[in-house]
Structure formats: C-alpha cells, structure tokens
Structure 1
Amino acid sequence: MMIHVAAGAIIRDGSIFIALRSSEKHQGGLWEFPGGKCEMYELPDAALIRELKEEVGIDVISLQSVFSVDHDYGDKKVCLHFFVVDQFSGEPHGAEGQKVQWVSIKKLINYSFPKANEGFVAFLSGLYDLKE
C-alpha cells in the first residue's frame, strides 16, 4: 500500500528549516523536511498546511508544489509530495519536541536525509546556484 506524504522546504533568507526524525520512527535519525501523512481524501497541499501547523507551529501563507516521488524502502512504499513554503506566519520550532534547525541552502547537502528526499535536496541546492 502506497503512503502519501506531504513535505515542505520552509525557506527564509537563504536558509531552510529541517527537523531530525525521532529514532523510533521509520528512517529515524535522519533529517527531514517537515510535513506528514495525507489523511484519506486529503489533498497533499492541505495535508502540508495542517501538518506544518501541528509539527512546527506555523501558518502557511504561500506554497508551491515542486514534484512528487514514489519510493520503495522495502518495508514501506511512499509517494512524497514536495513543496516550497516561502511565506508563513509564526516562528517555526519543534512543536512536538523534535530537534530542528535552520540550514543554509548551500550546506543542505551536508545533512543525511532519507533516500526518497535526495532529489528534493538536489533541487533545492540548485535553487541556491540559480540565485548566485
């Protein structure tokens, strides 16, 4: 069964907000872009807006869909829907107790993300190059 997940790169001033996955979760100990599972019949953008409010305490003002990726981890199949969130209100924080930090876009490639996120990391790193 495919699990649909919405994830967002929260961007401000050339940095991206990332969170460390709990060691108890699938792919635990790796960094992630905040977001979460889509509920039944929930569109990915709506899921991301809901999850970012719950997980990092922000209200999304503007988001752009980037692309989706299907990935089979062997024990779990996911379809990740990636977004860029460049306008929001509130200050992102680890509302669920997770470790979080702002990372310069050019240093994003130095962090370990789940395999399904690699294309999005490459895409975001390319955004940095386009702005230089």
Structure 2
Amino acid sequence: MKAIKMTIVALVTVLSLAGCKKDVEKTTLEKIQGRWNYGSSNHKEVYPPSTNNTYAFTGKAGEYFDFRTDGKLYVKMEGDPEESETYTVDNDNQISISGEPFVIQQLTDNRLVIYSKQVDPTSSDAYTEHTYTLTR
C-alpha cells in the first residue's frame, strides 16, 4: 500500500512539473523563416522637381517570399521568374535583403510587413520607398 502511495505521489509530481513548462518565444529569425505568400507591395519614387510616382501591386496565387535557413531568400512575384537573394536578420526590427536594410513594421505568425527607404546619394530630396506585405 505504501508503494502505491509513493508511486502516485511521484506521478503527480512529474505531471505537475511537466505542466509548468514555459513556452519559449521564437526569435525574429525563426518567425521570419519559411514561405510567405506575396500579398501586396507599394513603391514610391521621388526625384524632384518632376518625378513623383507611386506603384501598387497585389500578389497572385503562387507568388511568394521563401526565407530559407541557409540565409537565402527565394522570391517569385509580379509575374517574374523566381529570383534568389541573400538575407540577414540584423535585429528584432531590421532585416537586410541583398544588403538593403528593411524595417520590420509588423511580424506575427501570419503577417510580415517590411519597409525600405533609399535616399539618392546625389540629392537628399530624391528617394525611393518600398513596402511589402506578406501573409501565411
């Protein structure tokens, strides 16, 4: 009888400890890795005094951004053939794609929004902006 009580106490102790396991938060890199559907993108070109263009694209079925564990990014969008880029996660708020820094504006399990602004080195008034919205 004493052995049965000790077995029950040990079993209850093991089950209580297993129930106390903390969920480990994924890193930004782990959250980004994998295949994302290309949802949309917005692009703006400003070259004063005459150029101020804005373009918007909506993703189609089969278009994607695929962030692989080896630091490669495979992109298929806007009807173009698949392209390969490199990427690094610089910190929780920034990713670089082929050396171009993008601010991570939103990152959830199902949505990634990245933004880049490049200022023209010959004119501080000239720039391009790119925003990509990806979903799972």
TM-score bucket (shorter structure): under 0.3
Rg larger in structure? 2
TM-score, normalisation: structure 2: 0.27
Structure with greater proportional strand content: 2
Structure with greater proportional helix content: 1
Q: Which has the higher contact order (CA 8 A, sep 6+)?
A: 1
